[in-house]
Amino acid sequence: MRERLVLPGPETGKIKRTVKGMLRKARELGVLHIEQELGLQPRTYAKKSLFPTMDADLDRYETEKAFWITGIVKEDILKAARGYIFNWAKEHPTENVAGEGFEEGLYNLLKEWLPAVDDSGHTLNQAARSEVIARTNIMDMYNHARLTMMQRPELKHWVQAYRYTAILDSVTTLICRGLHGKIFTDETLNGFSPPSHFNCRSMLLPVTLLDAGWQVEMAGQGPITVKPQEGFATGLPSAQEAEAARASQ
């Protein structure tokens, strides 16, 4: 069977709407989960959350994130394709651009970004880079929604601090192993809000007024020696930082 790349639609708006829908689902799940964890009244059909000002903040973050992701995907795919064509022309000056091996090489390059299907429509690859971007940003939106609610002024006397919680298994990074269980306050969080690296699955759990003794535990946890992956302490990295980080892995 012949494989073919599935290219995104020509309209940037289609990509952006897909990305925004993905982020909206992550946001809604984050809000729902933190409401349940804090024992809050669930949102009603008339509002997205219990706090209208928070909804406006998350709307802005969601829109900006959708623009950012769409730009990253388009920029990197076009950059990769242009670079490949340029190098092919340099290495094969006497051959037609569409000469033997050209299409295969371009396919192998772009299949990390774009899914490929066979004639029956079955997906043949995972489009690894796109999957990393999607997974990382879904967790970023999920965690951002949770933290935004926990930091509401209305909850400041109830939510006292945050506990970093990682999924501990064979693929947990040293970063998240080192942060797992650590307690942070608003004053000490300083970029340790997940995601802390690409494909990060960690989250912050609320430490509430009922969690007696957390101050003593925090005082005894010692200095934190691990740091988030480059670019993650102040938000998700740029296209250049993302590519550099991936190349170094």
Return mean pLDDT, the chain. 77
For residues 32 and 101, membership in a common domain is answered with yes
For residues 50 and 165, membership in a common domain is answered with no
* Contacts of residue 73, Cβ cutoff 8 Å, sequence gap at least 6: 8, 15, 113, 130, 133
Does position 234 have pLDDT exceeding 90, yes or no? no
More confident residue, 245 or 151: 151
Does residue 69 lie in a domain region? yes
Render pLDDT for 131-179 as a digit per residue (tens, 0 to 9).
777 788 889 999 999 999 999 998 989 999 999 999 999 999 999 999 9
Render pLDDT for 76-115 as a digit per residue (tens, 0 to 9).
666 666 676 667 667 766 665 555 566 667 666 666 656 5
For residues 183 and 73, membership in a common domain is answered with no
For residues 13 and 109, membership in a common domain is answered with yes
For residues 24 and 92, membership in a common domain is answered with yes
Query: Which residues span the domain enclosing 219?
Result: 157-239
Quickly count: other Cβ atoms within 10 Å of residue 192's Cβ. Answer: 21
For residues 197 and 116, membership in a common domain is answered with no
Does position 246 have pLDDT exceeding 50, yes or no? no
Does residue 101 lie in a domain region? yes
For residues 37 and 124, membership in a common domain is answered with yes
Does residue 140 lie in a domain region? no
* Residues pairing with 154 in the sheet: none
For residues 8 and 114, membership in a common domain is answered with yes
pLDDT at position 144, please?
Answer: 93
**Count of structural domains within the chain:** 2
Q: Which of 113, 130, 147 is where one domain is finished?
A: 130
Q: Which of 95, 130, 165 is where one domain is finished?
A: 130
Task: State how far the Cα of 205 lies from the Cα of 145, in Å rounded to an integer.
Answer: 12
For residues 174 and 108, membership in a common domain is answered with no
**What 3-state class would DSSP assign to 65?**
helix
The packing angle between helices 52-91 and 239-248, to 10°, is 60
For residues 106 and 208, membership in a common domain is answered with no
Does position 185 have pLDDT exceeding 60, yes or no? yes
